[in-house]
Amino acid sequence: MKFVLEKTDGQTKARAGMLNTQHGLVRTPVFMPVGTQGTVKTVSPQDLTDAGVQMILGNTYHLYLRPGDGLIREAGGLHQFMNWFLPILTDSGGFQVFSLAELRKIDDGGVRFQSHLDGSYHLFTPESVVDIERNIGADIMMVLDECVSYPCPENDAEESVRRTLLWAQRSKNRFQETLPSARLQQSLFGIGQGSTYSDLRRRCAERLVEMDFSGYAVGGLAVGEPKSLMAEITDQSTEVFPQEKPRYLMGVGKPEDIVDSISLGVDMFDCVIPTRNARNGTVYTRRGKLVIKNQSFQRDFQPIEESCSCYTCRRFTRAYLRHLFQAGEILGLRLTTIHNIHFYMRLVEDARSAILANRFSLWKKDFFNVYYANHS
């Protein structure tokens, strides 16, 4: 994988770039919809490409448990298995082990946990996770890290940084000793931790850079800390990370957080928000969110958003979508998901165009003015 930095904004740290992978080019900033179990929930690969998706995320924890990375390897890798031939990034499973699994027990060797599906016992080590991600065959693999919750005592955060760095080095070693299952190139990204402690975050990021990964992620954010802290840490992290490598803010986020983080020099994002909200009937527009189930949309024969060119907006009205949700029809979940994904794609594409055209700050101001217009 090769990253080309095309442009850095003059007034902010916003960047436009290009990730060159064996499954094609990815223009950054990029938002990756989350395909937890080998599908982005409710939509097909065709729906994703139609909505402008360039790259998706797969969850190593879920795929390892079901259908199993061995089966995915037999299928020819996750791209083949799910019929998605654009780039894929897999997380390390660390976050899921710490949020979903039961009875986890962590030491320097790795983390033992019980499957949330059937209670079976498993062990993730930095090495085993690299092996699993090799089997899955994603274009970008993430190292196993230790995620702490917020708030976190400084001692615990320090200990987690120590372990995260230890694991990062072991991941890197394993990565260098192994080859992809298919004849594909895979890249490995490091993940910075350190909770909300600036010194820890900086030290962790610096050590990761010394290890020389293909890209760098900010992990452990968007877990309940104030927005200002999230911005501060993101800002500090991108100061440490090298210009010529892609930066990825994991698990973020809301449209406003993405726009803010782009201006702090982040290139890559993933989050379940657009897809999960869609399934709850919450849809995004330039002027904020709508709850499509509301009575007020019963006889509203406009599309979700007049200016939107997604399949849903080109074909269906708010009244029809509301009816589908009221009637419990699955098509409703897909149509709102298509719209929300398209909204996110347009958001990062617009940010990119603005960066390339030297008008990012103006665009950002306009975005917030319109997005919050109905909130005041």
Can you tell me the distance from the alpha carbon of 255 to that of 101, in angstroms, rounded to the nearest whole number?
29
Residue 83 interacting with a second copy (CB under 8 A):
yes
The runs of H, that is alpha helices, within the chain are: 45-50, 60-65, 69-74, 78-82, 94-99, 126-136, 154-177, 198-211, 227-240, 255-262, 273-279, 311-315, 318-326, 330-356, 360-371
* Catalytic residue (one of 9, 47, 69, 91): 91
Yes or no: say if 256 and 38 are a contact pair by the CB < 8 Å rule.
Answer: no
Residue 309 interacting with a second copy (CB under 8 A):
no
Q: Is 145 a catalytic residue?
A: no
Give the pair of three-digit tokens for residue 195.
């909770």
Which of 39-47, 211-219, 221-229, 236-244 is the region at the interface with a second copy (rule: CB under 8 A)?
39-47
Maximum separation of any 2 CA atoms in the chain, in Å: 62
Q: Which residue has the tokens 């946990």?
A: 113
300: left (phi over 0), alpha (psi -120 to 50) or beta: beta
By CB under 8 A, name the one of 2, 4, 6, 71 that touches a second copy.
71
- Smallest distance, a second copy to C-beta of residue 119, A: 17
Can you tell me the distance from the alpha carbon of 64 to that of 105, in angstroms, rounded to the nearest whole number?
18
Yes or no: say if 252 and 269 are a contact pair by the CB < 8 Å rule.
Answer: yes
By CB under 8 A, name the one of 315, 357, 358, 365 that touches a second copy.
315
- Smallest distance, a second copy to C-beta of residue 279, A: 9
- Residue 112 is given by DSSP the state E
Residue 51 interacting with a second copy (CB under 8 A):
no
Which of 190-198, 251-259, 313-321, 361-369 is the region at the interface with a second copy (rule: CB under 8 A)?
313-321
- Smallest distance, a second copy to C-beta of residue 64, A: 13
Q: Could you give the angle at the alpha carbon of 263 between the alpha carbons of 261 and 265, nearest 5°? A: 75
- Smallest distance, a second copy to C-beta of residue 352, A: 29
Of 315, 241, 276, nearest in space to 17 by CA: 241
Residue 329 interacting with a second copy (CB under 8 A):
yes
Residue 272 interacting with a second copy (CB under 8 A):
no
- Smallest distance, a second copy to C-beta of residue 137, A: 15
Q: Is 131 a catalytic residue?
A: no
Which of 31-39, 99-107, 225-233, 356-364 is the region at the interface with a second copy (rule: CB under 8 A)?
31-39
Residues contacting 34, CB < 8 A, separation 6+: 40, 56, 57, 59, 270, 271, 272, 275
> Which residues between 123 and 142 bind a second copy (CB under 8 A)?
none
By CB under 8 A, name the one of 331, 357, 362, 370 that touches a second copy.
331
By CB under 8 A, name the one of 316, 325, 343, 367 that touches a second copy.
316
Yes or no: say if 216 and 234 are a contact pair by the CB < 8 Å rule.
Answer: no
Q: Which residues, listed in sequence order, are joined to residue 262 by a DSSP beta bridge?
A: none
Residue 41 interacting with a second copy (CB under 8 A):
yes
> Which residues between 212 and 241 bind a second copy (CB under 8 A)?
none
Residue 82 interacting with a second copy (CB under 8 A):
yes
- Smallest distance, a second copy to C-beta of residue 328, A: 8
> Which residues between 284 and 303 bind a second copy (CB under 8 A)?
298-299, 301
Can you tell me the distance from the alpha carbon of 215 to that of 249, in angstroms, rounded to the nearest whole number?
11
CA distances, 108 to each of 165, 182, 202 (Å): 11, 31, 22
Residue 167 interacting with a second copy (CB under 8 A):
no
Active site residues: 91, 270
Residues that bind a second copy (CB under 8 A): 37-39, 41-46, 66-67, 71, 74-76, 81-83, 298-299, 301, 311, 315-317, 319-320, 323-324, 326-327, 329-331, 333-335
